[in-house]
Structure 1
Amino acid sequence: MPLLEISVIPVGTESASFSSDVSNAVRKVAEKGLRYQLTPTSTVVEGDIDQLWEIAKEMHQEVISNGTKRVVTNISIDHRTDKQMDMNHQVNVVQPH
């Protein structure tokens, strides 16, 4: 299953903190029922490619809808077609045993 890594960063807000914007964006993922994992600087989402493109758009637009005038969204998609993968597998293959 493809993986999306996304960070949505509001720019030029009055506060240096944007955790509430991130929380609202991640809530969009949870509402869709997609598996996700938060990291200190991004969110990783697992789903089919169409779901990932759509949720990236929704997360970006969620921050704009809260009145932010500028948003920088970085995405990376890992889409492997020769075999199945998921978040757990990707982590397990690199962790020491």
Structure 2
Amino acid sequence: MVREDGKRNFVLVEDGEETSVFSGTYPRQAALKAARRLHPAPSPDDIDGKATLRLRERGTDRVHIYEGWAWTEAKDDDAPEWMDDYVTRANVSKRGIEHLEA
């Protein structure tokens, strides 16, 4: 279901339970937000595993399936002073869409 601002809500499904809600204009945007919560690797070169993220779009029967991973890196030189020295970055790759049965 699309909100007035054009964003949609996606619910993270873990072990059959819906745990968190992420919003975004596109499913990938919500998947990136969810991937940032994964345990990050020390660098992009040290990523050893990828997690499967299942995001159900609220108001529909669609479940978007992504493979996600995260890593930490030093903050940019122009980042604000209050920001931590390291930030978490994430990436996702879409694996498909499933439709729930009624």
TM-score by length of 2: 0.30
Higher strand proportion: 2
Give the structure, 1 or 2, with the largest relative contact order (CA under 8 Å, sep 6 or more): 1
